[in-house]
Every structure is written in C-alpha cells, then in structure tokens.
Amino acid sequence: MQHIKIQNVSKLFGEARAIDHVDIVIEQGEFFTLLGPSGCGKTTLLRTLAGFYQQDEGDLYFDKVNINRTPAHKRNIGMVFQNYAIFPHMTVFENVAYGLKARKVKKDQIDIRVTEALDMVELTHLKDRSPSQLSGGQQQRVALARAIVIHPGLLLMDEPLSNLDAKLRVKMREDIRRLQKDLDITTIYVTHDQEEALAVSDRIAVMKDGKVQQIGRPYEIYLTPSNKFVASFIGSTNFLTGHVSDGKELKNTEIQVEGIQLSRVFNRDYAGEVIYSIRPEQVRLSDLKHVRTSKTITGKIKEASFLGQTVTYKVELATGTVIDVHEYSVSFHNLRREGDIVAVDLNPEQSVVFDVSGEEVLNECDNREKAEVLPV
Amino acid sequence: MSVITEKKQKSSLFSIRLDFWNFVTIMAFILIGFFLVYPLFNIFINSFWVDGSLTFENYKEFFSYKYYYSALLNSFIVSTAATFFACCIGIPIAYIMSRFNIPFKGIFNMLIILTLLSPPFIGAYSWIIMLGNNGFITNLFANIGIDIPSIYGLHGMVWVFSLQFYPHIYLYVSGALKTIDTSLEEASESLGISGWRRIRKVTLPLIFPTVSTGALMVFMASFADFGTPLLIGQGINVLPVLAYEQFISELGSNPAMASTLSMILLTVTTLVLFFQRHIVSKKTYTMSALRPPTVIKLSPVKRLLATLLVLGIVTLSIIPQATVIVTSFIKRNGPVFVGEFSLDSYREVLYKVPEAITNTFLYASIAIVFMVIAGLLLSYVVVRRKSKLTSLLDTLIMIPYVVPGTVLGISLVIAFNEPPIELTGTWIILVISYIIRKLPYTMRSSTAILYQIDRSVEEASISLGVPPMKTFFKTTAILMIPGVISGAILSWVTTINELSSTIILYYGATATITVSIYSEVFTANFGTAAALASILSLATIISLIIIKLLSGGKEINI
C-alpha cells in the first residue's frame, strides 16, 4: 500500500539545489533509508517531509493526501534528532508525555501510553529522572519513546545513532529495527553510514548532490549499483580502466582489462573506454603454479593486513595497477605474505561495467531476476 | 496552468511569512527608529542648523574657540591615560587571580565587580572626602606639615577612572586566560621560552584582542562619564560636561551647540570603536581550551606578595564605597561631621527625598519588565531568524554602547520636546532612555544563552504537535529565563546607578537617587549624599548576589 509519495520535489537554498527533483514512493510499514555523504540533501529532504522546510517545487502526499500546505505541527510525524533534542527542563516522563498533552489525551490514558512506550525502550525505571542524569544512549531512547508514543503516521530519524559509541550503535540499531517492525510504523531514516543503512533498511535511496542515484533493497544496491558513485559509496570496490573495441556482439562483448580479454553480456551496443568495477572480495587469488590460462593475470602482494575475520591485500598487477583484494582468513595455510606472486582472477561474472562517464551500467544485469525471488 | 498554480503558491508562501516573529521585528524597528535613530538624526540635523539655514558655523565655532576644543582635548587625554593605567592594573591582577593560588578569590572577584558597577561619580565624591581641599587625608597630612596634591584636576579624573574601570580589563582578561590551552604555554616552555618572556611572547599576544575590547570599554566609559569631571574637574572642562552646560545653561541654553558637541562626542566614540575593531580584525584567534591552565601553587613568600598586591589594588578601588558607607553613618552638625555614629543621614534622606528612592526603583523596575520582554523576543529574532534585516536590528540595538548618556539625553529632549509627542519632563522619557541605554546588557546575556540552546528542541516540540508560537513559550523561552534575567538584573543595576542621561531628562518630581546625590554633594550635604549612595551600593550588592545564584555560581559576564 502506497503511504508516502514524494513527487518531483526540489528545495533551493539561494541558487543551490539542496534537493533536485526527487521522486520516491514509500510503502506502509517500510523502513526506508536515505543514504549519502554529507551535503547530499538527505537531511534537507527529511526536514522538508517534517515540514521544517517548504519545498520550492513538487508535491508531498501522505496516504494520497497532499500535505504541501500542512504546517509541521499538524503532520503527525514522530521525529528523532541526531542530538536527541530532549527537553532539558522536563523529566523523562514529562518528555514522553509532551506530545500526548498537546493532543489533549486524558491523563489516565497518558499514564498508560507513556509507561507502555517507556517499557518498549526499557526505560521505565528512569521515568522520574531529569535528562541531564541520563547517558547518551538513554537520552536517545527517551527521544525514540517520545516520538512513537503519539502513534505517528510517519517516523523520521535524522542520524539518530551518530553520537553514540560503536558497540551501542549496533545494539540501538537492532532495537530500532525490531521496534519499527513490531509497531509497523513507516520509517524514514537518514544516515551517512552505509553499514548501518544496509543492516536496518527494507529499501535504501542513495543520494548525491540533491539527486537520488539509486533506490533499491540493500543487496540490490550493493550487488548491482546503478552508477560509479553508488558502487564506490556502498562498500569498497576496484575501478579498472577497460576498453571495448567491438561492441556489436552483445552476448559476448570482449573487454580489454589489464592486458587480457574478459567477456561480459552487454545490454547495448557500445565501443570505447569502460570502467570495470570489481569488489575486493570478488577477486580471486590463487597460487601461480596451479593455474595459468590466457585469462590469468599475475600479481604481487604488496601489503597484507590481517583483520581477524578477513585479510586485506594490496596486489600489484603486471601493468602496475594496484588493487584491493579481501580473503577470509580460513587457516594459516591460506595466508599470503608480502612479496608472494599470485594468479589474479578478475571474476567477470561478478563485475559491473560502466561507460566512461561512470553514469551508465553496460552489462546485462542478471542478478535482478534472482533478487525478486529473495525474501524481503 | 502550472505557471499559474506556481504563482499562487508563491503568494501564499509570502502570506505565511507575516508571522509573530516578523511582527516583533517590525515593532522593534519602529520603536528603535522612533526612540533612538530619529532623536540622533535630529541632533545631527540640529548641529548644522542655525537660524533656519544650513551651516557649518557650529563646527567652525567649536574648532576656533579654545574653550570648546580644549574640552575635546581634555576628554581625550583623560580617557587615554585612564585606559592605559586601567590596563596596567587590570592585566596583572587578572593574571595573578587566574593563575596563582591566591586566597579569598571569590571575595576579591565580587569586590572588583562591585567597584565596576557603582557609579563613578560616587567614587569621585569619596575621593573628594578623602583628598579634597578639606579631605580627611589631606587634613591629616597638612597637620603633620605635608602638602599632598589635591584630587581636583585632570590627574584626579585619571585616578578615579583608572581605579573605577580597571575591572573591565580584569574581567575580559580573566575570561581570555581561561581559554588558552595549557599546551600552548607548555609548547613555549619546551622551546626554551619561559617565565616573563613566555608571558610577553605567547600569553600577551594571545589575549591582545580581548585586552583591546576591555580597553575599549574603559575608554568609552571614561569618555562618556559625566559625574566625575563635574565633581573634580573644577574648571577643567570635558566634552560631556560642556554639552550638558550648553544645553542646560542658566544664561540661556544653546541647543544647536549642544547638538554639535553631542555629534562630536558620538563621532569620537564611533571612530574609537572602529579603530579597535580594525586592529583586532587581523588578530582574532578562536580558542577553546581542551585543558584550561591549572592554578600554579606559589611558594609562601611569593604567594604572600601576590596576595598583598591584589589586596592593595582591590582595597584602593573599594575604599570609595567603604568611605561612603562609613560617612553615611557619621553624625553631623550641619555640613560638619562630628565623630559619632548615627542614622541621622538616613532619617534626613527619608524626610527630604523619599520620592527619589521610590522613583529610582520604580523606573528601573518598569524598565526591567520591558527589557526582559525585549531581551527574550529580540535575541530570538536576532539569533534564530538570521537575515540581513535582523542583523541590522542587532547593530541598532547595540548602538547605545557608543552613545554617551549625555548625548542620548539631549537627543531625546530635543526630539520629544513639543507636541504631538511631548515627553520631556515626564517619567516616561526616563524609562525610555533607560531601556534604550541598558537593553544591550540584557540582549548580550540573552543571546549568549540562546546560542547554547539546541534548535532542534523546538523542532521536536513542533513535530509533537505543538504550534510554533506555543512551542517557543513552552521550551526555548523557559530555557532562556536564567540568561535573560541575569542580563536584566545587570541592566537594572546599571539603571539605578545611571546619572548622565537622567540629569538631563529629569525634572523636580522625577528626580532619582543619583540625581539627588549629585545635588546633595553640590549643596555640601555630604551625609545625605553618602546615605543615598549607600542605599545604591546595597541594592547593587543584593542584585549581584541574585545574579550569582541564578547563574549557578558561574562567572558573571558584563
């Protein structure tokens, strides 16, 4: 069921377009994340939805009702802020009760609902404390309880975890996700942390320079990035320069990369320079003596960093290009040392090939059909 | 079609913008325009206007008669010398107090602030009691055959101003010293520069911008002060006194010349302000100390010496207050003091000028109500509704910092002397002048606290369903109260101690304590003057304690 519709929305600050013709449709109960580097417009879009900014172009719909002219305090939106924005002059209980009082809810009802909300965030025992006596994580839980207690039609979260330490961040994001699903609140979540976005979201919109670059499920965005920016912003990847001399044969387009020919199924006729993107964990290394075909590139381990679960290598290819390669540290046996010579397989089936500008995907995207059958 | 709807949207957007805050902004502009800009503009015009025609005659006259231009020169000499000596006193005291383990810091600090807040002419008056022609110290020395120089004259003014205004330097420098990270000084020590050389090469340059701001305050205060030169000038004229005399001369006043003198006063203060801004513009360092400097434990001897130095200065600067209070309790016979204590002076005050006391506190209280409201609303507009318009408003509100009280008084009288708006001689004009002159104190402390309040607190409230206006009063306004109130109390303290504009604006029935002190001193009723001054001191001390309690023991920001 369509719940939130953002149609062709733009917001200008002076001459600069903070949001540039954004179109997004969000379903009821969806956990939707706006992800992008700072200055990409994600917070501006969130604040426009909240009603703190007025868009210069376009329309906003909640449940098919246009809310362009609805003031912020009538939008029935719960919002959680980066810096918590707890009312410092009220107790935890009063903070959570604030929105209910504004809605003229009866006092006994307020007591029940506040207690219920504080239960959900596990803060009932602190209800009479003043905010200054709470830790950052506890304050953020109060903010969350305060936002959900009003039964908002939409929950907005603006980088809610960025002021917390790493361990707490992981715990809080799991809690938020669970709460969101239990209460079935449509949620829009803003973050610049791609790992966080991948972990909590049903769908993600990657943004840059006020424009939406790609909208999709976490694995779609990771596995089939729609342009070079998305590929590099989500996770890490190696970009290699390739060349296609004859693109007529779509089914088997030959790409010249690092001195060898790799073939990939293209979706259109293309000739010229391409960007060959392959993630570090997709590159396969093997001992040189085992394999040597025309598709083998030799490389030399320049640096090795042991990170526990994985080992990351910087591998210098024959042409002098240095790529990142990640391998699981399965056993002593498979650890490679600096200076080792290895065979490098660039694994074309898992590669993404962009045109020279990095804006267009050239390979046929065979992952997409698979994506449809995966559970949400 | 789409073009039409877009236009419609734009116009409705515009109508939304006429909200409460814009109303506040517009009202503020109207009031400031009417009660500050218009009167000042008026005296500007007046200074070029003689017998119905435009002329530079007044300015020509000013610069050709020694009687006039020497006043400017005197003002300049006195203020510059006072600024220099205030720095000489204030910087070392601030350094010692913030870096070394001196005992009784809290008390010293309170006394220094008290010195600053008491009206300078009370200081001048008590120095007369001590060092005047018939002063008790003068007499003491005369009895043993030593002729000490009289307090009257330029050097007397410099003496009084230096001791009265060094707290400006002290307060600014103490603040700055706290923001210097220890590591900077440690770095300097590790590079082999230590002791005096380190202070000269690192510490002083770092606090230079702050010192210059303090120096500016001292200069402005000395340059604009009216009471002190009037009491101890004795034949040596300075600009504010000259302007006053030209305006309220019994031999027929000369408003055009008074306006001209006011313009010259205003020009000098403005130039000095720009000069100060100019020299610091290239030397401002933003520092926030991660590790504020620790207090150094001195050896007992050094500690004693440092304490004695601070004690000496603080005593010297608080002596006038003490003298006044003691004097107020001394029994007199006519103008002659006899060596007994009594409450006669207070009885006489209550009998002679009771309304001066009620007037003072009534006017100041009415003014404080307006200042609290204005401070609350205007600081919000200036901080949260930043635009070219509101920053212009901010500048306008701060203008009174450079407008000497005498000038504002003269300009208000000239502007509102005749119908349709005839305010001269009413209490309203006094209250208006207090609000305009003292609002900057409230504004500064209100904006300071507002910068510490998170903007999203309001957004949180709005998103929870409380409309913006109600949100402001339920969240930000409540959180601002301590800052606004402590600023307003400071405004209040300086209001009750105000003389320079009151003396021009008052009229028999609206006389205040300061005006009464002034006239009592002139009619040689030192006892009643002292009693009145003690009442002011007591009110000031109580107010300071309230501020201290409100700010939770934090530093008082003047």
Per residue in B472-494, pLDDT (tens digit) is: 999 999 998 888 888 888 888 88
Q: Nearest CA to CA, how far is A147 from chain B (Å)?
A: 7
Q: What is the largest CA-CA distance in chain A?
A: 79
Task: Give the helix/strand (H/E) hosting B246.
Answer: helix B239-247
- Kindly state the tokens that stand for B398: 């701060």
Give the CATH superfamily of B69-318: MetI-like (1.10.3720.10)
The Cα–Cα gap between B531 and B326 comes to: 9
Provide mean pLDDT across the span B5-33: 67
Architecture of the domain defined by A294-345: Beta Barrel (2.40)
Q: Which regions of chain A carry the CATH code 2.40.50.100?
A: 228-279+349-376
Cβ–Cβ contacts within 10 Å for residue A338, how many? 11
What single string gives the DSSP state of each residue in A115-129? HHHHHHTT-GGGTTS
The Cα–Cα gap between B556 and B558 comes to: 6
The Cα–Cα gap between A149 and A141 comes to: 12
pLDDT at residue B3 tops 50: no
Residue B454: its chain A contacts at CB < 8 A?
A: 83, 85
Q: Nearest CA to CA, how far is A355 from chain B (Å)?
A: 37
Q: What pLDDT is attached to residue B140?
A: 80
Q: What pLDDT is attached to residue A372?
A: 52
DSSP A302: E
Q: List the single residue in A with minimal CA-CA distance to B463.
A: A73
Residue A318's φ and ψ, nearest 5 degrees, are: -55, -35
- Kindly state the tokens that stand for A257: 């990369």
> Closest Cα partner for B446 from B490, B392, B498?
B490
> Which residue out of A13, A62, A76, A87 would a mutagenesis test of the B interface target, given it has the greatest number of B Cβ atoms within 10 Å?
A87
Q: What pLDDT is attached to residue A48?
A: 94
User: Which alpha helices (DSSP H) does chain A contain, by range?
Assistant: 42-50, 92-102, 107-120, 136-148, 166-183, 194-200, 218-223, 228-233, 367-373
DSSP B298: P
Cis? peptide before B404, omega within 30° of 0? no
Q: What pLDDT is attached to residue A90?
A: 92
pLDDT digits (tens, 9 = 90+) for B250-280: 556 677 888 888 888 888 888 988 888 888 7
Q: Nearest CA to CA, how far is B458 from chain A (Å)?
A: 8
Q: Are B71 and B239 in contact (CB under 8 A)?
A: yes
Tokens 């994506």 belong to: A371
Q: Are A274 and A243 in contact (CB under 8 A)?
A: yes
Exposure on the CB side of residue B535, measured as CA atoms within 13 A: 24
The Cα–Cα gap between B540 and B533 comes to: 10
Q: With an 8 Å Cβ cutoff, is B465 touching chain A?
A: yes
Question: Predicted confidence band at B555 (pLDDT cuts at 50, 70, 90)?
Answer: low
Of B465, B468, B475, the CB nearest to A87: B475
**Whole-Å CA distances, B332 to A66, B325, B335:** 84, 14, 7
Of chain B, the end-to-end C-alpha distance in Å amounts to: 59
Q: Are B196 and B155 in contact (CB under 8 A)?
A: no
Provide mean pLDDT across the span B287-294: 63
Q: Do B460 and A76 touch (CB under 8 A)?
A: no
Q: Are B74 and B238 in contact (CB under 8 A)?
A: yes
Q: Do A102 and B466 touch (CB under 8 A)?
A: yes
Residue B459: its chain A contacts at CB < 8 A?
A: 50, 52, 72, 79, 81, 85
Q: With an 8 Å Cβ cutoff, is B476 touching chain A?
A: no
Task: Give the helix/strand (H/E) hosting A239.
Answer: strand A238-244
Of B9, B461, B479, the CB nearest to A88: B479
Q: Nearest CA to CA, how far is B486 from chain A (Å)?
A: 18
Q: Are A190 and A42 in contact (CB under 8 A)?
A: yes
pLDDT at residue B148 tops 60: yes
Residue A87: its chain B contacts at CB < 8 A?
A: 457, 460-461, 475
The Cα–Cα gap between B179 and B177 comes to: 5
Q: Are A147 and A155 in contact (CB under 8 A)?
A: yes
Amino acid sitting at position B67: Y
Q: What pLDDT is attached to residue B283?
A: 67
Q: What pLDDT is attached to residue B14?
A: 42
| Non-local CB neighbours of B410 within 8 Å, separated by 6+ positions | B43, B243, B247, B255, B258, B259, B262, B504
Residue B460: its chain A contacts at CB < 8 A?
A: 79, 81, 85-87, 143, 146
Q: Are A327 and A246 in contact (CB under 8 A)?
A: no
Provide mean pLDDT across the span B274-292: 70
Q: Do A73 and B457 touch (CB under 8 A)?
A: no
pLDDT-flagged residues of chain A (< 70): 1-2, 247-250, 290-295, 366-376
Give the rounded distance of the alpha carbon of B390 from its chain centre.
24
Of B9, B465, B478, the CB nearest to A150: B465
Q: What pLDDT is attached to residue B250?
A: 58
User: Which alpha helices (DSSP H) does A28-183 contain, by range?
Assistant: 42-50, 92-102, 107-120, 136-148, 166-183
Of chain A, the end-to-end C-alpha distance in Å amounts to: 16
Of B454, B463, B466, the CB nearest to A79: B463
Classify domain B329-558 at the CATH topology level.
Answer: MetI-like fold (1.10.3720)
Residue B87's φ and ψ, nearest 5 degrees, are: -65, -45
Q: What pLDDT is attached to residue A258?
A: 87
- Kindly state the tokens that stand for A110: 């307020």
Q: Are B527 and B345 in contact (CB under 8 A)?
A: yes
Q: Nearest CA to CA, how far is B454 from chain A (Å)?
A: 7
The Cα–Cα gap between B209 and B471 comes to: 39
Q: With an 8 Å Cβ cutoff, is B13 touching chain A?
A: yes
Q: Nearest CA to CA, how far is A206 from chain B (Å)?
A: 25
B295: left (phi over 0), alpha (psi -120 to 50) or beta: beta
Question: H helices then E strands: how many in chain A?
Answer: 9, 20
| Non-local CB neighbours of B473 within 8 Å, separated by 6+ positions | none
Q: Do A85 and B475 touch (CB under 8 A)?
A: no
Residue B462: its chain A contacts at CB < 8 A?
A: 51-52, 72-73
Q: Nearest CA to CA, how far is B382 from chain A (Å)?
A: 19
Q: List the single residue in B with minimal CA-CA distance to A149.
A: B464
User: Which alpha helices (DSSP H) does B100-153 contain, by range?
Assistant: 105-117, 120-131, 136-143
Q: What pLDDT is attached to residue A314?
A: 94
Residue A143: its chain B contacts at CB < 8 A?
A: 460
Of A68, A150, A156, the CB nearest to B464: A150
Q: What pLDDT is attached to residue A227?
A: 92
> Which residue out of B2, B462, B463 would a mutagenesis test of the A interface target, given it has the greatest number of A Cβ atoms within 10 Å?
B463
pLDDT digits (tens, 9 = 90+) for B45-59: 888 877 777 778 888
Tokens 């943004």 belong to: A207
Q: List the single residue in B with minimal CA-CA distance to A57.
A: B6
**Whole-Å CA distances, B454 to A161, B368, B468:** 17, 27, 15
Q: What pLDDT is attached to residue A114?
A: 95
Which of B27-36, B281-290, B345-354, B369-378 is predicted least confidently?
Answer: B281-290
Q: With an 8 Å Cβ cutoff, is B459 touching chain A?
A: yes
Pick A282 or B286 by higher pLDDT: A282
Q: List the single residue in B with minimal CA-CA distance to A90.
A: B475
Q: What pLDDT is attached to residue A115?
A: 94
The Cα–Cα gap between B85 and B166 comes to: 8
Of B456, B459, B464, the CB nearest to A99: B464
Of A52, A73, A75, the CB nearest to B466: A73
Q: Do A89 and B478 touch (CB under 8 A)?
A: yes
Residue B53's φ and ψ, nearest 5 degrees, are: -140, 155
Burial track B245-283 (b if 16+ CB lie within 10 A, e otherwise):
bbbeeeeeeebbbbbbbbbbbbebbeebeeebeeebeee
The Cα–Cα gap between A197 and A290 comes to: 40
Task: Give the helix/strand (H/E) hosting B240.
Answer: helix B239-247
Provide mean pLDDT across the span B185-195: 74
Collapsing DSSP to helix, strand or coil, B44 comes out as helix
The Cα–Cα gap between A283 and B421 comes to: 87
| Non-local CB neighbours of B362 within 8 Å, separated by 6+ positions | none
Of A74, A85, A98, the CB nearest to B456: A85
**Contact residues of A toward B, CB < 8 A:** 50-52, 54, 68-69, 71-79, 81-83, 85-89, 98-99, 102-103, 143, 146-147, 150, 156
pLDDT digits (tens, 9 = 90+) for B495-541: 888 888 888 888 888 888 988 888 888 787 778 888 888 888 888 88
> Closest Cα partner for A240 from A275, A283, A271?
A275
Q: Do B462 and A85 touch (CB under 8 A)?
A: no
| Non-local CB neighbours of B154 within 8 Å, separated by 6+ positions | B74, B77, B78, B236
Q: Nearest CA to CA, how far is B466 from chain A (Å)?
A: 6
Q: Are B505 and B435 in contact (CB under 8 A)?
A: no
> Closest Cα partner for B317 from B426, B162, B195?
B162
Q: Where are the domains of chain B?
A: 69-318, 329-558
A52: left (phi over 0), alpha (psi -120 to 50) or beta: alpha
Residue A103: its chain B contacts at CB < 8 A?
A: 465
DSSP B36: I
Q: Are A225 and A213 in contact (CB under 8 A)?
A: no
pLDDT digits (tens, 9 = 90+) for A148-162: 999 999 999 999 998
Q: List the single residue in B with minimal CA-CA distance to A95.
A: B461
Q: Which regions of chain A carry the CATH code 3.40.50.300?
A: 2-227
Could you write out the three-class secondary structure of B349-416? HHHHCHHHHHHHHHHHHHHHHHHHHHHHHHHHHHHHCCCHHHHHHHHHHHHHHCCCHHHHHHHHHHHC
Architecture of the domain defined by A228-279+349-376: Beta Barrel (2.40)
Of B13, B457, B465, the CB nearest to A87: B457
Of B454, B464, B475, the CB nearest to A83: B454
The Cα–Cα gap between A234 and A217 comes to: 12
Q: Nearest CA to CA, how far is B463 from chain A (Å)?
A: 5
Q: Are A263 and A274 in contact (CB under 8 A)?
A: no
Classify domain A2-227 at the CATH topology level.
Answer: Rossmann fold (3.40.50)
Q: What pLDDT is attached to residue B10?
A: 42
pLDDT digits (tens, 9 = 90+) for B304-344: 898 999 999 999 888 888 888 888 888 766 556 666 777 87
Q: With an 8 Å Cβ cutoff, is B462 touching chain A?
A: yes
- Kindly state the tokens that stand for B287: 């520092």
